[in-house]
Amino acid sequence: MPPTGLLSPVDWFASIEVCMANVKGSVLRSRVDFVEKKFGREQLDQVLGSFSKKDRYTLERGLLPAQWYPFALGERLEKAILQVLGEEGRSIFMELGRRSATYNLAGVHKVFVRAGDPHHLLSRAPAIYQLYYDTGSRTYEKTGENSCRLITSNSEAFSDGDCLTVMGWHERAVEMCAGRDVSIQHPRCRARGDAVCEYLISWNLESIEGDT
């Protein structure tokens, strides 16, 4: 059974698959809404123009936030966004990740946020991953006082857009833990043919009031 994930208007972690993985309705809804708000109705109509009447109706009116939908629908939406909006479309996925982190980590997941200690949150990456994905796993390795490595393995859910949202989410998450100058490198990616998705995260720390 798929895990029960945190559902919000800006949930983004698309659980994508070739066979059985799924994407939450909240993920698809957030992408459709963001395109319309940022680029306008005309651009959204172009994005949705390649879909069948049934799928277009689902994306515009029929999405249930808590329901799981097939990867193929989410993948087609991602490709349509990139095709219509080009490089601007790529920025959408980073921004969706950042917005999701802001929303979720200020709410029921705020327990993960500890000012001045991004490692506290990042070390929970394996558990957080399971809230959003129904296949695969993510590992955390501390590589320095202000750096770590995350690796996603055995997931049937991967795409270029998904990796961009992962990067946006963790960038904002580290900032919410008082990190600044956050750098995220993505040297290995399933969407580029690698066996795993690897994220190298580093940052500096802001001064926390009360520190000496």
Both structure tokens of 189: 């990616």
Helices and strands in the chain: count of H runs, count of E runs: 8, 6
Q: Which residue has the higher pLDDT, 63 or 5?
A: 63
Q: What is the pLDDT of residues 129-188, one digit of tens each?
A: 887 777 889 999 999 999 999 999 998 878 888 899 999 999 999 999 999 999 999 999
Buried b / exposed e over 52-77, threshold 16 CB at 10 Å, is eeebeebbeeebeeeebbebebbbbb
Long-range contacts, stretch 183-192, CB < 8 angstroms, 24+ apart = 189/158, 189/160, 189/163, 190/152, 190/155, 190/158, 191/158, 191/159, 191/160, 191/162, 191/163
Identify the pLDDT of residue 6: 40
Closest CA to 25 of 13, 17, 36: 13
Identity (one letter) of the amino acid at 44? L
pLDDT over 70 (residue 5): no
**11 pLDDT band (50/70/90 cuts)?**
very low
As a whole number, mean pLDDT of residues 195-211 equals: 86
Give the side-chain half-sphere CA count within 13 A for 136: 27
Angle (CA) 196 199 202, round 5°:
160
- Contact by Cβ (8 Å): 118, 142: no
* CATH tag for 112-205 (out of 3.30.365.10, 3.90.1520.10, 3.40.50.150, 3.10.180.10): 3.90.1520.10
H or E stretch including 187?
A: strand 179-188
Q: Domain locations in the chain?
A: 22-105, 112-205
Percentage of residues in the chain with pLDDT exceeding 90?
Answer: 50
Report pLDDT for 19.
Answer: 36
Q: 119 pLDDT exceeds 60? A: yes
Helix (H, G, I), strand (E, B) or coil at 21: coil
